[in-house]
A and B are shown apart, each in its own frame.
Chain A
Amino acid sequence: MFYLVLPKEKNNLPLRLVFIHGWGGSYQAFSSLAEYFSDEAECVLLDLPGFGKSDEPKAPMSPADYAEEVAKTLAQMPKKKTIIVGHSFGARVAIHLYNLHKKSVNGMVFLAGAGLKKKRSIRFRIKAFCMKKAARFVRRFSFLSFLKKLPMGSRDYREATPVMRGALVMAVNEDLAELAKKVTCPALLVYGSDDNETPSEFGRRYQGLMRDAEFFEIKGENHLSILVSPVAQNLIEEFLKARFKCWRC
């Protein structure tokens, strides 16, 4: 797995931030945040298998598999207090990582974290049901080549390779509400008010599920813009300062 460590030089910073990007993203999503925090905490920026500069896995990986992969990479590094910063899909990996290796995760930050099921309107559910039936139909009659050209599935799905499609399906079918209940470490949940993919209602629900979580909604930010929001950066700084004390300023 490809990863970057900031600062470049050997350090004895007591805190480690591990940044896990969202679906279709790469470590670059966090470059501005990591650069900002890199003099207070060692920042590890990952490219999950199949994204950015990391090779694609041979078989589809579940979010739990991804978490194990991250754990393996982290295990090679000197031990430090570790906070996982997950954007969107990265938050799914973070929850699994916590549940698989409780001792190696001391805190969590979600930026537009995914993992819960959206509350859907009846209209949407009917539409989804029809689409599923239609997809089955297309698969069965795939010898009719024009059917293959129909835009089926979400944009992420269409853009993915067959292996990554498998991983995506595994991820989106998971509801992490039960696992989230077991999260007892300090957690910061930051969501944008204009986010349609992981609405801020997710954050509010996670706050109710986790034992020690703070939720904030930032007005005007969406699913991607939240990554470069100065307000989000400030909330993370305040969270680290209040809960993990080792802060210079």
Chain B
Amino acid sequence: MENKKKIAVFFGERSFEHDISILTGLQAFRAIDTTKYEPFPVYVDLDGKWWTGEKLLDSSTYPLTKEKQKTVTPVEFKIGGERAHILPLKKGLFGRAKPIYFDFAFLAFHGGYGEDGLFQGLMETAGIPYSGCRPLAATVFMDKIATKRVCKAIGVPVLDDVLIKRPEGKDFFDVEKLAKDVKFKFPVIVKPCSLGSSIGVSKANNKEELYAAILKVFALDSLAMVEPFVPNLEEYNVSVCNAFGETRFSAIERPIKNNDAVLSFEDKYKAGGKNGKAGKMGGTKTCGCKGGNSGRISAGMLAMTRALNPKELSKKQAENIKAWAAAIFNELRACGNARIDFLCDTKTGQMWLGEVNPIPGSLSYFLWEAAEPKVGFTKLVNALIEEGFRQEEKYSDFLKTISDNRIFK
């Protein structure tokens, strides 16, 4: 066979979003074009241990209990030698474990250690090309304050905020004193500074609730951020990508709240012909999912929980969203396909940046399938891999020029 590049697909990690990362990892794995690449899974468990093996592709393997650990192979990451690799930790009598070399690391992490630049830094040090943001952009994006300060500097609108730091080395402290700078009108929103998604975020309607919310954040993070509450709130998200040789945008999505009406597939599309017997449907057998969740949810199903390119957005608003998203993405020289979320007061039409997800859930593939021009999941993953390889090449070229600056010759 021809020499296919070996791609390690990484997911899991010590993160609040560990399980979502498993889903994204398995989805991304299936989207890798096996006619071009040879993918294999590497799962980082909640203790930070690394595992590999075919079984990791089956969603019934999770959670990886002691019993199930026997079906997969524990590995360690070796760097500093000729070429970084992973090494199976086998206690066999015969011979040494065979190192597993790989050409590329596809990162499907969400949250701490994997999305926030730390793992990216490890790959940089190991000299392994990888997908998505470089460490700088990933770290800034996963820190809400840093992201907001950069936004402010380049004119992307953000909400005002007050930061509250947890006093060091104290178990008891006066929350009232800490919160004295919060001058916003109630209600306010309190969130941790570094965690993704909506973990630890709460709304406070009065002082007592504010104090409780701050304490709740301090259990997760040492820094709490208080922002004014946005009334008539809708969120609008867009994914940005430079991997196609130009800045491209996905469709804009508005996540649908639970109480909105949900359409069925047939409601959405025209039915023709004679309507025969109802009831028995072949659908259950043909869902085609391998072991539950690892399968792909149809884009149609996903479209039912979100509105794509929502009609209520004016052309100007949509343009603003894209322009701001591109500005923050390019300011930090980001790679990959970060999803950038905006908050909107639907009464006034005013918008602010919400947060940036360097590695969005499901890699936002459903937004790209609805983009103009549209991009299929496999095309997206291919592009992210190629972009990762290009980034590495740039860096190696740079290293070659360093030899002129040597002192010890």
Contacts and interface: CB of A to CB of B under 8 A. Distances in A.
Interface of A: 1-8, 21-22, 24-26, 28-29, 31-32, 35-36, 39, 47, 51-56, 73, 216-222, 224-231, 233-235, 237, 248-249
B283 A4 contact: no
Contact of A222 (B31, B272, B290, B378): B290
A224 B281 CA distance: 16
Interface in B232-285: 265-266, 268-278, 280-283, 285
Most buried by A among B270, B272, B275, B289: B272
B306 to A, nearest CB: 14
Given A31-B265, A32-B300, A237-B376, A5 B270 contact: yes
B33 A73 contact: no
B300 A31 contact: yes
B272 A5 contact: yes
Given A39-B374, A230-B30, A249-B373, A28 B269 contact: no
B57 to A, nearest CB: 7
B30 A35 contact: no
Given A3-B272, A5-B269, A228-B289, 9 more contacts: A4-B270, A6-B269, A28-B282, A29-B288, A36-B299, A52-B281, A228-B288, A230-B31, A237-B376
Interface string B278-315: 10111101111110000110111001000000000000
Nearest to A55: B276
Interface string B371-391: 001111111010000000000
A90 to B, nearest CB: 11
Nearest to A223: B288
Contacts of B265: 28, 31
A26 B300 CA distance: 16
Contact of A229 (B30, B269, B286): B30
B378 A234 contact: yes
B290 A225 contact: yes
Contact of B298 (A7, A35, A52): A35
Interface of B: 30-35, 57, 265-266, 268-278, 280-283, 285-290, 295-296, 298-300, 303, 365, 369, 373-379, 381
Contact of A226 (B57, B288, B374): B288
Contacts of B30: 220-221, 229-231
Contacts of B369: 36
Contacts of A7: 269
Nearest to B283: A28
A25 B269 CA distance: 19
B287 to A, nearest CB: 8
A217 B278 CA distance: 36
Contacts of A21: 282, 286
Contacts of B269: 4-8
B376 A53 contact: no
Most buried by B among A5, A216, A233: A233
A245 to B, nearest CB: 15
B286 A4 contact: no
A53 B35 contact: no
A217 B36 CA distance: 11
Nearest to B270: A8
A26 B287 CA distance: 10
A222 B151 CA distance: 47
Contacts of A224: 285-288
28 contacts: A2-B271, A2-B275, A4-B266, A5-B270, A5-B272, A6-B270, A7-B269, A8-B269, A25-B285, A26-B283, A29-B283, A35-B298, A35-B300, A39-B374, A52-B280, A52-B282, A54-B273, A73-B273, A220-B30, A221-B290, A224-B288, A226-B288, A227-B286, A228-B289, A228-B296, A229-B30, A230-B376, A233-B376
B35 A26 contact: no
Contacts of B272: 2-5
Contacts of B33: 231, 234
Nearest to A53: B276
A28 B270 CA distance: 14
Given A226-B288, A230-B296, A4 B271 contact: yes
A230 B297 CA distance: 11
B311 to A, nearest CB: 15
Contact of A233 (B281, B286, B377): B377
A43 to B, nearest CB: 9
Given A231-B33, A233-B377, A234-B378, A51 B299 contact: no
Nearest to B278: A53
Given A25-B286, A28-B283, A31-B298, A2 B34 contact: no
A163 B256 CA distance: 45
Nearest to A44: B272
A22 B286 contact: yes
B286 to A, nearest CB: 4
B298 A1 contact: no
A28 to B, nearest CB: 4
Contacts of B378: 230-231, 233-234
A29 B298 CA distance: 10
Contact of B34 (A1, A24, A32, A219): A219
A184 B286 CA distance: 30
Most buried by B among A39, A219, A221: A219
Contacts of B282: 21, 24-26, 28-29, 51-52
Given A4-B271, A230-B378, A53 B277 contact: yes
